[in-house]
Structure 1
Amino acid sequence: MTYPLIVIPFVLVTVVVTAMSARRPRFAARMAWCSVAAVVLLLLTAVFDNVMIAAGLFTYPEEHLSGIRIGLAPLEDFAYPLCAAFLVPAVATLLEKPKR
């Protein structure tokens, strides 16, 4: 189960940085838009990962996976787009200068 362990730091950083951005204006609206982006990215990941795996472009060693799959794609593949959907806007928000 190597891949699930690799995902943990990405998820933790995403949670911490997103929580740090909670005090910035429009947090609720940002989270709503991040959720929409996450759904779109997860759907795209499901489609394209399954197509690429089915086409034989890449495989995963079974001993390194959690065993949970969505179609042919391992569950671990879905952590990265989910993190990106929340982490990128949170970082951008934290890098903005606060308006006075």
Structure 2
Amino acid sequence: MTYPLIVLPFVVVTVVVTLFSLRRPQRRERLVASLWTAGILVLLTAVFDNVMIAADLFTYPEEHISGIRVGLAPIEDFAYPLCVAFLLPAIGALLPERRDAA
């Protein structure tokens, strides 16, 4: 189970940073936008991962994945779009506001 272990640090960092960002203003709007983005990215990942795997562009050795699949795609592939959808807005919320020089 190599791939689940590779994904784990990304998921942990995403959860921690997202939780810290909940103290910042506009958290509800940010989370709703992240949920919509995550849904779209997961859908795109499901479609295109399955197409690429079916076209034999790449494979996943069974001994390196959890065994849970969505079609042909291992569930681990869906962690990355979820992390992006939540982590990037959370980081943006935690960055200090820029002030204009003028």
TM-score, normalized by the shorter chain, greater than 0.5: yes
Q: Does 1:17 align with 2:17?
A: yes
Aligned position for 1:84: 84
Aligned position for 1:38: 38
Q: Distance in 2 between matches of 1:21 and 1:96?
A: 12
Aligned position for 2:65: 65
- In structure 1, the residue corresponding to 2:42 is in which secondary structure? helix
Q: Deviations over 1:15-68 (max 9, x none)?
A: 000011111101011101100000000000000000000001000111000000
Q: Distance in 1 between matches of 2:26 and 2:92?
A: 13
Structure 1: gaps spanning 5 or more residues: none
**RMSD value, Cα:** 1.3
Per-residue deviation at 1:96? 3.6
Query: How many matched pairs?
Result: 99
Q: TM-score, length-normalised on structure 1?
A: 0.95
Q: Distance in 2 between matches of 1:49 and 1:97?
A: 37
Q: TM-score, length-normalised on structure 2?
A: 0.93
Q: Distance in 1 between matches of 2:34 and 2:24?
A: 15
Structure 2: gaps spanning 5 or more residues: none
The one-letter code matched in structure 2 to 1:69 is: R
Identity of aligned residues (%): 68
The one-letter code matched in structure 2 to 1:68 is: I
Q: Distance in 2 between matches of 1:98 and 1:31?
A: 22
Kindly indicate which of the two structures has a greater share of residues assigned to helix: 1
The one-letter code matched in structure 1 to 2:90 is: A
